[in-house]
């Protein structure tokens, strides 16, 4: 599937590029969204390119990296809610928590292999077009490498804890939209619990899969 192929190549890379990290001077609640993106991109790309284990596709190490650097600067609950659409309100609080956790794990494990492909890529940052009082913004970047430039747009919301990433546009495809139909189909066939089980089973399969390297 074309959309799946595009996401496989670039999703985890983009998730890591916009996720939080332990900096000498870490971003805080007042850090503007475009500055946040630039700080993390620089830090994470340097880390990934200098880590031979990640480049060899060491899944446990990649997962650990993602957990430490993505979670603090993303809103996976909102991402999951948007992917669920109207079905989100049909889920119990427990199911919502399960879906958020399993969806996060799915994104991490499905696309973790993309990290091992980071070599000589660089990132071009576009000027942020937003008003000072905006609560939601889109930060635009372009990944430059051997092939064609890859546009990566990040949708962020302003929260009490600072700016959080909750959706991404990869070459014209929004992450949330790419999963919405799949989630809807699972729910229509097997209900909310069926979707939870589908995600759990998929994560188990990915956890035991061997790296492609």
In a domain, 159, yes or no: yes
Work out the angle at residue 57's Cα, subtended by the Cα atoms of residues 108 and 163, and round it to the nearest 5 degrees: 35
CATH of the domain at 129: 3.10.450.710
Q: Note the pLDDT of residue 19.
A: 41
| Residue 206: other Cβ atoms inside 10 A | 16
| Residue 89: other Cβ atoms inside 10 A | 9
Q: Please give the backbone phi and psi of residue 160, each rounded to the nearest 5 degrees, phi first.
A: -65, -25
In a domain, 213, yes or no: no
Q: Note the pLDDT of residue 27.
A: 72
Q: Note the pLDDT of residue 12.
A: 47
> Sign of dihedral through CA atoms 188, 192, 197, 200?
positive
What is the number of domains present in the chain?
1
Q: Please tell me whether the overall predicted TM-score, pTM, comes out greater than 0.85 for this model.
A: no
Q: Note the pLDDT of residue 164.
A: 93
* Per-chain mean pLDDT for the chain: 83
Q: Note the pLDDT of residue 20.
A: 38
Q: Note the pLDDT of residue 5.
A: 53
Q: How far is CA 91 from CA 82, 85, 191, in A?
A: 13, 11, 9
Q: In the chain, pLDDT over 70 holds for what percent of residues?
A: 82
For 42-54, what is the mean pLDDT? Answer: 80
In a domain, 33, yes or no: yes
How crowded is the C-beta side of 92, counted as CA atoms within 13 Å?
5
Range of the domain at 149: 2-208
Give per-residue pLDDT as tens, 88-107. Answer: 999 999 999 999 999 999 98
Question: CB–CB of 191/180 below 8 Å?
Answer: no
Residues 100, 63: Cα–Cα separation, whole Å: 16
């Amino acid at each position: 599937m074309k959309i799946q192929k595009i996401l496989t190549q670039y999703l985890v890379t983009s998730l890591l590029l916009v996720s939080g990290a332990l900096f000498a001077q870490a971003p805080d609640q007042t850090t503007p969204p475009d500055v946040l993106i630039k700080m993390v991109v620089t830090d994470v790309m340097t880390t990934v390119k200098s880590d031979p284990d990640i480049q060899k596709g060491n899944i446990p190490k990649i997962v650990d990296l993602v957990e430490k650097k993505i979670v603090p600067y993303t809103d996976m609950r909102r991402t999951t809610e948007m992917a669920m659409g109207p079905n989100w309100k049909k889920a119990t609080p427990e199911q919502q928590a399960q879906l958020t956790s399993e969806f996060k794990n799915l994104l991490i494990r499905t696309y973790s292999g993309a990290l091992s492909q980071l070599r000589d890529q660089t990132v071009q940052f576009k000027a942020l077009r937003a008003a000072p009082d905006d609560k939601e913004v889109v930060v635009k970047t372009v990944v430059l490498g051997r092939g064609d430039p890859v546009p990566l747009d990040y949708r962020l919301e302003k929260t009490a804890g600072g700016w959080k990433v909750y959706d991404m546009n990869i070459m014209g495809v929004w992450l949330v939209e790419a999963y919405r139909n799949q989630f809807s189909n699972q729910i229509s066939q097997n209900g909310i619990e069926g979707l939870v089980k589908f995600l759990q089973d998929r994560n188990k399969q990915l956890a035991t899969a061997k790296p492609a390297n």
